[in-house]
Chain A
Amino acid sequence: MRSRDGNRTFSLRLCSVILFNSLALNASEFLISYSYTVKDAILHNESLLISKAMQKCSGVQQNSIILNNDGNKDLKQIISKNNEEFINYIHKLGLHIEHNEKTTNYQQASSTTLILKTTCFKVDFNDNFARIAPLK
């Protein structure tokens, strides 16, 4: 049975559904891992792996970072444009350190690896910026 004020409630409901759907479509979850190795004080390899999550992640959003975005929805491109800023942010989040040093007959060789274990990040894409926050 229709209400007396016509289709007002129906249209409101429809608008809210469209709004929430659009927000949900703009936010997505990504899995990001990062690591680099330093051997004898020289950087050897560095890898930043980004992949879209195929399962829904659980957790609460932690400290977020806002990266400039020109309407782009490709996270890899956004991060590559703001590489230094994002790497500094990852360092702040916390990295695992694995250091091994071997001294044989007073000759030393060392290797240090810094690792961000694969972490789920929630990314909100907007017109001018993208907000990235880890889920924990």
Chain B
Amino acid sequence: MKYSLILVALLGFSACAATEPATTEVKQVAPEPTNITVVCPTGSCDKAPEIQKVEVIKPMVPEVQKVEVIKPIELAEKQKTEDDVLEADHNLIIAVVGQGVAPMNTSSPAQAYALAKRAAVADAYRLIAEKVKGVRVDGQDLIQNMMVKRSTVRTSVKAMVRNANIVETTFKEGLCEVEMEIVLSHSDFAQ
């Protein structure tokens, strides 16, 4: 009785093992289609060596985009011609986008919008001043034992801006963006 139970258990186990797939398909990414032949290393295999199927997936090659190569000298010349110069018979329009954020402790969305817009307007004014008048930059690096200990950059702008116009205002997720432009004419700077 005991032996018959063990026999039944062994038969069941062997049946489960027999249901498992004998061959497996291996997916690999290879540059070229190849057949891989499996050879028993010891030479004592009873079965004939099986040939595994290898599915070849062509790697996705992105299309090459055409890149225009500009020589540095040409680039410099191009920038030179594109630089805005204020001439006597032409007005110059300078457009900037200022950004401002609403504070955390606002009582209403309307207040948040108003405060963020005010901050964005100040940023836009600053950007116009930077473009028209320029920025003063001071830098200081402290090096100890051949290592940078502290690196400080200070920038400052001082200017007066008038007749700047708000073109567009957007408010999205707490960030307000103000597009502002100013028209410069030669007579504004005439001595």
Partner-B contacts on A (CB < 8 A): 36, 38, 41-43, 46, 91-106, 112, 114
**In the complex, are the beta carbons of A102 and B118 less than 8 A apart?**
no
Q: Would you list 25 pairs from A and B whose C-beta atoms are within 8 A, ordered by A residue?
A: A36-B118, A38-B100, A38-B118, A38-B119, A38-B122, A41-B99, A41-B119, A41-B123, A42-B115, A42-B119, A43-B103, A43-B116, A46-B118, A91-B164, A94-B163, A95-B125, A96-B160, A97-B126, A97-B157, A98-B157, A101-B154, A104-B151, A104-B152, A106-B151, A114-B121
A93 to B103 Cα, complex, angstroms: 28
**In the complex, are the beta carbons of A43 and B100 less than 8 A apart?**
yes
Residues of A within 8 A of B162 (CB): 92-95
B contacts with A, residue count (CB < 8 A):
31
A114 to B160 Cα, complex, angstroms: 9
**In the complex, are the beta carbons of B122 and A112 less than 8 A apart?**
yes
Which label, helix, strand, loop or mixed, suits the secondary structure of the A interface?
strand
A93 to B123 Cα, complex, angstroms: 18
**In the complex, are the beta carbons of A102 and B153 less than 8 A apart?**
yes
A56 to B164 Cα, complex, angstroms: 31
A93 to B162 Cα, complex, angstroms: 6
Rounded to whole Å, the gap between the CB of B133 and the closest CB of chain A is 9
Rounded to whole Å, the gap between the CB of A5 and the closest CB of chain B is 55
Flag whether B93 is at the interface (Cβ < 8 A). no
A42 to B125 Cα, complex, angstroms: 15
Q: In chain A, what residue has the closest Cβ to B156?
A: A100
Given A94-B163, A97-B158, CB of A112 within 8 Å of CB of B123 = yes
